[in-house]
Structure 1
């Protein structure tokens, strides 16, 4: 017998856009998603049906990182579902069920009408949780707007900064001047995006109830 768990979780479901003309990009996307270290009650991304992938995520920071990877890769609609999950939770996400999965499916459908191909749907009750889910959607839309405009050079600098390198160290690694690094950091909105990710994580934490 299964029952819904007391603690809400996040289901991230992503559907490839125009797969018939772009080919199957699921294997490459799953490889990119392997960079996420999902622990605890989380279940790793897997192909669920056709050109769709899905994961069960406990840590809001991991969910935001996953959205970043989908946006960076391009060509994906992403839905975040927030809610309870049936327990016991199976090892394979494809065998899992619960309100969070229903919410994620609704979010993917809703994302088709969004400017950034993103949506968030919650099955957690209460006005505060609902408002927090709206905040998550707003924060992720703004982040996606920034991420989609980054060049390869911008992502290169952002990745090195994320590793903890100073701007002088980034400059040495890339063989450019520190001022050139500062310009790339500014153009790529690295500082602003980092702040936006922190905001999205806080909102998603609140949405979990």
Structure 2
């Protein structure tokens, strides 16, 4: 059974506040095979089998920053234990190697796995992370409302600004490009999990 293991380690946790509870709260809505939980210290881990779950998990982590993110793709031993941290298999080893390598990598994120799609997936996530990093708080306001299903007109009413101002914020925030990036990450995750045919 091929899955995605996310191992996420808080960066510079010894000098800052513990951000794991906030991250776990943000990840609670992500559909997981085994939900995210603290493993040890400032680290958390989750097990995913739905390609759409990876971008859903990554976006809040990339948005908040301050994380070393290791993504491992591959098989795990079955039957699965009740908790993500108790699992074993190649995907876990790949995630551990990835989170270690992430500490000196672009956007503090690495993807590791045997699939030929792994490098393409990592590249897509790095490009998406670059787009999200330039997004301002105003851009995130519009993005959040659009993600709730609001039109630009409705978002303008909610924010008390003109529809033109919403459109400008959306363009500056790269909302259309961000949606495409999420779709691409989902597609490449599915490709990597399926493996060669």
TM-score normalised per structure 1? 0.90
Report what 1:103 is aligned to.
Answer: 94
Report what 1:156 is aligned to.
Answer: 141
Report what 1:207 is aligned to.
Answer: 192
Question: Root-mean-square deviation (CA), in Å?
Answer: 1.0
Structure 1 gaps, min length 5: 1-6
Superposition map of 1:1-209 within 5 A: 7-38=1-32, 42-122=33-113, 124=114, 129-130=115-116, 132-208=117-193, 209=195
1: distance between equivalents of 2:91 and 2:6? 9
SS of 2:52's equivalent in the other structure is helix
Contact preservation (8 Å) 2:7, 2:95: yes
SS of 1:77's equivalent in the other structure is strand
Q: How far has the Cα of 1:170 moved from its partner?
A: 0.8
Contact preservation (8 Å) 2:31, 2:50: no
Contact preservation (8 Å) 1:13, 1:80: yes
Size of the alignment, in residue pairs? 194
Structure 2 gaps, min length 5: none
Comparing 180-189 with 63-72, which one deviates more in the overlay? 63-72
2: distance between equivalents of 1:91 and 1:24? 25
Provide runs of 4+ in structure 1 moved above 4 Å: none
Contact preservation (8 Å) 1:12, 1:81: yes
2: distance between equivalents of 1:143 and 1:97? 30
Contact preservation (8 Å) 1:157, 1:170: yes
SS of 1:18's equivalent in the other structure is coil
Q: How far has the Cα of 1:74 moved from its partner?
A: 1.1
SS of 1:116's equivalent in the other structure is helix
1: distance between equivalents of 2:98 and 2:106? 14
